[in-house]
Each structure stands twice: as C-alpha cells, then as structure tokens.
Structure 1
C-alpha cells in the first residue's frame, strides 16, 4: 500500500433510502371485474358496493 493511503472497510450491506411520494389517511379498494372486451376498463361498469 502506498504511503498516506488508508484502507477503508466497506459494509456488506447497502444503505437504502426510502422516499414517500404519496400519503393518505383513508382509501377505498374495489373489486374490478374482468374486462368484457379488448377495450379499456370503464368505471361505470364497476359495482362500487363490492369491497375488497
């Protein structure tokens, strides 16, 4: 090792950062039925009385 150089031990574990992008106090989850055709989902076809 060259003069003035220090060896630095690197942890085996990576340090992870967590970033909260969205926070809400209450949310609703609906059972969305399978699509009837190749078209996109339409919210008016969902039964909002079916909760997950």
Structure 2
C-alpha cells in the first residue's frame, strides 16, 4: 500500500493543499482514475496500463 499511495501522493499532495476533506477525496479519485489507471504504465502487468490489461483480459 505504501508504494501504491506514493505515486498519487508525490503527484498530487505535494503540489497543492485542499480546503476540505471532500476536495482531497475528489482530487485523489481523479488522480487514480485519470492517471494511474488510464495513463501510468505498470511493470507488474507487462508495462501496460490497468485499463489496457483489463481490456485484453476480457
């Protein structure tokens, strides 16, 4: 889990401050869905995005 949250934390948290908890939740969700699942390549699944791996498995 530390490795998983390290990337969004480095990309998101260190660059801005959120006014409320809801703002932080929204921004974290957008980071995970928009970047981690759709653009970021993952070595454990063959240097593909999770979205690509899921599509190819179906």
Q: TM-score range with shorter-chain normalisation?
A: under 0.3
Flag the structure with more relative contact order, 1 or 2, with Cα contacts below 8 A and sequence separation at least 6. Answer: 1
Structure number with larger C-alpha Rg: 1
TM-score, with normalisation over the residues of structure 1?
Answer: 0.21
TM-score, with normalisation over the residues of structure 2?
Answer: 0.20
From the two aligned structures, give the one with the greater helix fraction: 2
